[in-house]
Amino acid sequence: MEFRPCIDLHDGKVKQIVGSTLGYTDKEVVENFVSAHDAGYFAQLFQQDRLTGGHVIMLGSGNEEAALQALRAYPNALQIGGGITAQNAARFIEAGASHVIVTSYIFHDGKLDLERLNNLVATVGKEHLVIDLSCRSRDGKWFVVTDKWTKFSDFEVNAASIQTMENYCDELLIHAVDVEGKRGGMQEDLVRQLADWTTIPTTYAGGVRSLDDLQKFKAIAQGKLHITIGSALDIFGGDLAYTDVVHYCQKKIGKEV
Protein backbone atom coordinates (compact mmCIF):
# COMPACT_ATOMS: atom_id res chain seq x y z
CA MET A 1 0.00 0.00 0.00
CA GLU A 2 1.33 3.39 -1.03
CA PHE A 3 0.07 6.86 -0.23
CA ARG A 4 -0.64 8.61 -3.52
CA PRO A 5 -1.01 12.37 -2.95
CA CYS A 6 -3.20 14.69 -5.00
CA ILE A 7 -3.22 18.23 -6.33
CA ASP A 8 -6.72 19.23 -7.42
CA LEU A 9 -6.88 22.41 -9.50
CA HIS A 10 -9.94 24.62 -9.98
CA ASP A 11 -9.84 28.11 -11.49
CA GLY A 12 -6.03 27.90 -11.40
CA LYS A 13 -5.87 27.33 -7.63
CA VAL A 14 -5.20 24.27 -5.48
CA LYS A 15 -8.54 23.32 -3.94
CA GLN A 16 -10.39 20.47 -2.33
CA ILE A 17 -13.90 20.21 -3.72
CA VAL A 18 -16.84 17.86 -3.22
CA GLY A 19 -16.48 16.39 -6.69
CA SER A 20 -20.11 15.41 -7.04
CA THR A 21 -21.06 19.12 -7.04
CA LEU A 22 -19.00 19.91 -10.15
CA GLY A 23 -20.37 20.19 -13.65
CA TYR A 24 -23.85 21.52 -12.90
CA THR A 25 -25.07 24.92 -14.11
CA ASP A 26 -27.77 25.04 -11.43
CA LYS A 27 -25.68 23.83 -8.48
CA GLU A 28 -22.99 25.69 -6.57
CA VAL A 29 -19.60 24.02 -6.33
CA VAL A 30 -18.88 23.04 -2.72
CA GLU A 31 -15.31 23.98 -1.80
CA ASN A 32 -13.81 22.32 1.26
CA PHE A 33 -10.54 24.24 1.00
CA VAL A 34 -8.69 26.79 -1.12
CA SER A 35 -4.91 26.86 -0.60
CA ALA A 36 -2.74 29.95 -0.40
CA HIS A 37 0.07 27.85 -1.90
CA ASP A 38 0.46 27.13 -5.60
CA ALA A 39 0.69 23.75 -7.29
CA GLY A 40 4.48 23.86 -7.40
CA TYR A 41 4.63 24.12 -3.61
CA PHE A 42 2.74 20.86 -3.15
CA ALA A 43 4.72 19.10 -5.88
CA GLN A 44 7.93 20.03 -4.08
CA LEU A 45 6.47 18.82 -0.79
CA PHE A 46 5.66 15.43 -2.33
CA GLN A 47 9.14 15.27 -3.86
CA GLN A 48 10.69 16.01 -0.46
CA ASP A 49 8.76 13.09 1.03
CA ARG A 50 9.63 10.80 -1.91
CA LEU A 51 5.98 10.26 -2.83
CA THR A 52 5.37 9.11 -6.40
CA GLY A 53 2.25 8.30 -8.38
CA GLY A 54 0.33 11.32 -7.11
CA HIS A 55 -2.25 12.82 -9.41
CA VAL A 56 -2.74 16.37 -10.60
CA ILE A 57 -6.36 16.86 -11.65
CA MET A 58 -7.50 19.83 -13.75
CA LEU A 59 -11.12 20.46 -12.77
CA GLY A 60 -12.30 22.44 -15.77
CA SER A 61 -10.55 25.04 -17.89
CA GLY A 62 -7.97 27.58 -16.74
CA ASN A 63 -5.79 25.08 -14.88
CA GLU A 64 -3.18 24.07 -17.44
CA GLU A 65 -0.46 26.49 -16.37
CA ALA A 66 -0.82 25.49 -12.72
CA ALA A 67 -0.66 21.84 -13.73
CA LEU A 68 2.48 22.40 -15.80
CA GLN A 69 4.03 24.19 -12.83
CA ALA A 70 3.55 21.06 -10.72
CA LEU A 71 5.01 18.83 -13.44
CA ARG A 72 8.07 21.06 -13.78
CA ALA A 73 8.58 21.08 -10.00
CA TYR A 74 8.52 17.27 -9.73
CA PRO A 75 9.13 15.79 -13.18
CA ASN A 76 8.36 12.18 -14.11
CA ALA A 77 6.67 11.47 -10.77
CA LEU A 78 3.14 12.90 -11.06
CA GLN A 79 0.15 11.79 -13.10
CA ILE A 80 -2.15 14.31 -14.76
CA GLY A 81 -5.85 14.13 -15.56
CA GLY A 82 -8.78 16.32 -16.53
CA GLY A 83 -9.54 16.99 -20.18
CA ILE A 84 -6.94 14.53 -21.46
CA THR A 85 -7.40 13.45 -25.10
CA ALA A 86 -5.34 11.68 -27.76
CA GLN A 87 -4.57 15.14 -29.12
CA ASN A 88 -2.98 16.62 -25.96
CA ALA A 89 -1.77 13.57 -24.00
CA ALA A 90 1.72 13.44 -25.47
CA ARG A 91 2.31 17.11 -24.63
CA PHE A 92 1.77 16.44 -20.92
CA ILE A 93 4.08 13.43 -20.99
CA GLU A 94 6.73 15.58 -22.67
CA ALA A 95 6.15 18.27 -20.01
CA GLY A 96 7.05 15.82 -17.24
CA ALA A 97 3.97 13.76 -16.37
CA SER A 98 4.70 10.10 -15.68
CA HIS A 99 1.18 9.15 -16.80
CA VAL A 100 -1.97 10.72 -18.17
CA ILE A 101 -5.30 9.87 -16.53
CA VAL A 102 -8.41 9.52 -18.66
CA THR A 103 -12.13 8.96 -18.08
CA SER A 104 -14.63 11.03 -20.03
CA TYR A 105 -12.64 10.99 -23.29
CA ILE A 106 -12.94 7.21 -23.58
CA PHE A 107 -16.40 6.99 -21.96
CA HIS A 108 -18.36 9.44 -24.05
CA ASP A 109 -22.06 9.24 -24.85
CA GLY A 110 -22.34 6.80 -21.95
CA LYS A 111 -20.29 4.06 -23.58
CA LEU A 112 -16.70 2.87 -23.76
CA ASP A 113 -15.13 4.02 -27.03
CA LEU A 114 -12.43 1.49 -27.87
CA GLU A 115 -11.27 3.51 -30.88
CA ARG A 116 -10.44 6.46 -28.66
CA LEU A 117 -8.82 4.20 -26.09
CA ASN A 118 -6.65 2.53 -28.72
CA ASN A 119 -5.67 5.94 -30.08
CA LEU A 120 -4.50 7.00 -26.63
CA VAL A 121 -2.48 3.82 -26.18
CA ALA A 122 -0.89 4.35 -29.60
CA THR A 123 -0.10 7.97 -28.74
CA VAL A 124 1.53 7.66 -25.30
CA GLY A 125 1.89 3.92 -24.73
CA LYS A 126 0.15 1.67 -22.24
CA GLU A 127 2.97 2.34 -19.77
CA HIS A 128 1.96 6.01 -19.54
CA LEU A 129 -1.79 5.54 -19.21
CA VAL A 130 -3.99 5.47 -16.10
CA ILE A 131 -7.67 4.68 -16.62
CA ASP A 132 -9.99 6.34 -14.13
CA LEU A 133 -12.97 4.12 -13.37
CA SER A 134 -14.52 6.46 -10.80
CA CYS A 135 -17.96 5.13 -10.09
CA ARG A 136 -21.26 5.41 -8.28
CA SER A 137 -23.63 2.74 -7.03
CA ARG A 138 -26.90 2.07 -8.85
CA ASP A 139 -29.17 -0.92 -8.27
CA GLY A 140 -26.47 -2.63 -6.24
CA LYS A 141 -23.84 -2.35 -8.97
CA TRP A 142 -20.99 0.08 -9.71
CA PHE A 143 -21.08 2.19 -12.87
CA VAL A 144 -18.47 4.59 -14.24
CA VAL A 145 -19.62 8.21 -14.12
CA THR A 146 -18.29 10.83 -16.52
CA ASP A 147 -18.38 14.55 -17.33
CA LYS A 148 -17.21 15.71 -13.89
CA TRP A 149 -19.13 12.76 -12.40
CA THR A 150 -22.52 14.10 -13.53
CA LYS A 151 -23.51 11.32 -15.95
CA PHE A 152 -23.84 7.60 -15.52
CA SER A 153 -22.28 5.50 -18.26
CA ASP A 154 -23.48 2.00 -19.08
CA PHE A 155 -20.05 0.63 -18.11
CA GLU A 156 -20.33 -1.60 -15.05
CA VAL A 157 -17.22 -1.91 -12.89
CA ASN A 158 -16.81 -5.59 -12.06
CA ALA A 159 -14.21 -8.34 -12.24
CA ALA A 160 -14.67 -8.94 -15.97
CA SER A 161 -14.61 -5.29 -17.03
CA ILE A 162 -11.54 -4.54 -14.92
CA GLN A 163 -9.74 -7.52 -16.43
CA THR A 164 -10.45 -6.05 -19.87
CA MET A 165 -9.34 -2.52 -18.98
CA GLU A 166 -6.09 -3.72 -17.44
CA ASN A 167 -4.97 -4.73 -20.93
CA TYR A 168 -4.86 -1.07 -21.97
CA CYS A 169 -3.19 0.74 -19.06
CA ASP A 170 -0.43 0.75 -16.47
CA GLU A 171 -2.62 1.65 -13.47
CA LEU A 172 -6.22 2.21 -12.42
CA LEU A 173 -7.64 5.08 -10.38
CA ILE A 174 -11.06 4.77 -8.74
CA HIS A 175 -12.84 7.54 -6.86
CA ALA A 176 -15.83 6.42 -4.81
CA VAL A 177 -17.87 9.36 -6.04
CA ASP A 178 -20.69 9.21 -3.50
CA VAL A 179 -18.29 9.69 -0.56
CA GLU A 180 -15.41 11.60 -2.18
CA GLY A 181 -14.64 14.91 -0.48
CA LYS A 182 -17.19 14.38 2.31
CA ARG A 183 -14.90 12.95 5.02
CA GLY A 184 -17.59 10.50 6.01
CA GLY A 185 -15.80 7.18 5.69
CA MET A 186 -14.88 4.95 2.76
CA GLN A 187 -17.13 2.70 0.70
CA GLU A 188 -15.94 -0.54 2.21
CA ASP A 189 -17.73 -2.83 -0.23
CA LEU A 190 -16.04 -1.14 -3.18
CA VAL A 191 -12.62 -1.32 -1.51
CA ARG A 192 -13.09 -5.02 -0.80
CA GLN A 193 -14.21 -5.77 -4.35
CA LEU A 194 -11.43 -3.77 -5.99
CA ALA A 195 -8.86 -5.66 -3.97
CA ASP A 196 -10.32 -8.90 -5.30
CA TRP A 197 -10.74 -7.73 -8.89
CA THR A 198 -7.55 -5.82 -9.72
CA THR A 199 -4.12 -7.20 -10.65
CA ILE A 200 -2.28 -3.96 -11.59
CA PRO A 201 -1.49 -0.96 -9.35
CA THR A 202 -4.82 0.58 -8.34
CA THR A 203 -5.48 3.70 -6.29
CA TYR A 204 -8.69 4.20 -4.33
CA ALA A 205 -9.96 7.64 -3.31
CA GLY A 206 -12.91 8.60 -1.17
CA GLY A 207 -13.81 9.04 2.48
CA VAL A 208 -10.66 8.08 4.41
CA ARG A 209 -10.41 10.63 7.22
CA SER A 210 -8.23 9.21 10.04
CA LEU A 211 -5.39 6.83 10.81
CA ASP A 212 -8.00 4.37 12.05
CA ASP A 213 -9.66 4.58 8.63
CA LEU A 214 -6.27 4.06 7.00
CA GLN A 215 -5.66 0.94 9.08
CA LYS A 216 -9.12 -0.34 8.23
CA PHE A 217 -8.54 0.39 4.54
CA LYS A 218 -5.29 -1.57 4.56
CA ALA A 219 -6.97 -4.51 6.27
CA ILE A 220 -9.99 -4.58 3.95
CA ALA A 221 -7.82 -4.18 0.84
CA GLN A 222 -5.28 -6.70 2.16
CA GLY A 223 -2.58 -4.17 1.35
CA LYS A 224 -3.28 -4.57 -2.38
CA LEU A 225 -4.60 -1.07 -3.10
CA HIS A 226 -2.94 2.35 -2.93
CA ILE A 227 -4.74 5.22 -1.23
CA THR A 228 -5.38 8.88 -1.96
CA ILE A 229 -6.54 11.26 0.79
CA GLY A 230 -7.51 14.85 0.05
CA SER A 231 -9.90 16.96 2.12
CA ALA A 232 -9.15 15.14 5.38
CA LEU A 233 -5.47 16.17 5.36
CA ASP A 234 -4.30 19.14 7.40
CA ILE A 235 -2.45 20.53 4.37
CA PHE A 236 -5.88 20.82 2.74
CA GLY A 237 -7.77 22.14 5.77
CA GLY A 238 -8.63 18.84 7.44
CA ASP A 239 -7.77 17.25 10.79
CA LEU A 240 -5.56 14.36 9.64
CA ALA A 241 -1.85 15.17 9.75
CA TYR A 242 -0.23 14.76 6.34
CA THR A 243 3.06 13.78 7.99
CA ASP A 244 1.32 11.04 9.99
CA VAL A 245 -0.10 9.53 6.78
CA VAL A 246 3.29 9.67 5.06
CA HIS A 247 5.04 8.05 8.02
CA TYR A 248 2.36 5.40 8.48
CA CYS A 249 2.44 4.31 4.86
CA GLN A 250 6.22 4.40 4.54
CA LYS A 251 6.61 2.44 7.77
CA LYS A 252 4.17 -0.20 6.65
CA ILE A 253 5.79 -0.48 3.25
CA GLY A 254 9.17 -0.88 4.88
CA LYS A 255 7.93 -3.77 7.02
CA GLU A 256 6.41 -5.58 4.07
CA VAL A 257 9.43 -5.41 1.75
Summarize pLDDT for 64-110 with one digit per residue, the tens.
999 999 999 999 999 999 999 999 999 999 999 999 999 999 998 89
Q: In 3D, which of 78, 77, 74 has the Cα closest to residue 8?
A: 78
**Residue at 13 is within a domain:** yes
CATH number at residue 43: 3.20.20.70
Domain housing 39: 6-256
Count of H helices and E strands in the chain? 8, 15
How many angstroms separate the CA atoms of 257 and 255, rounded?
A: 6
255 versus 197: which is more confidently predicted?
197
Summarize pLDDT for 23-61 with one digit per residue, the tens.
445 446 677 789 999 999 999 999 999 999 999 999 989
**Residue at 1 is within a domain:** no
**Residue at 94 is within a domain:** yes
Beta bridge partners of 234: none
**Residue at 67 is within a domain:** yes
Domain count, the chain: 1
Q: In 3D, which of 175, 179, 124 has the Cα closest to residue 6?
A: 175
Stated pTM of the model: 0.91
**Residue at 91 is within a domain:** yes
pLDDT at position 26, please?
47
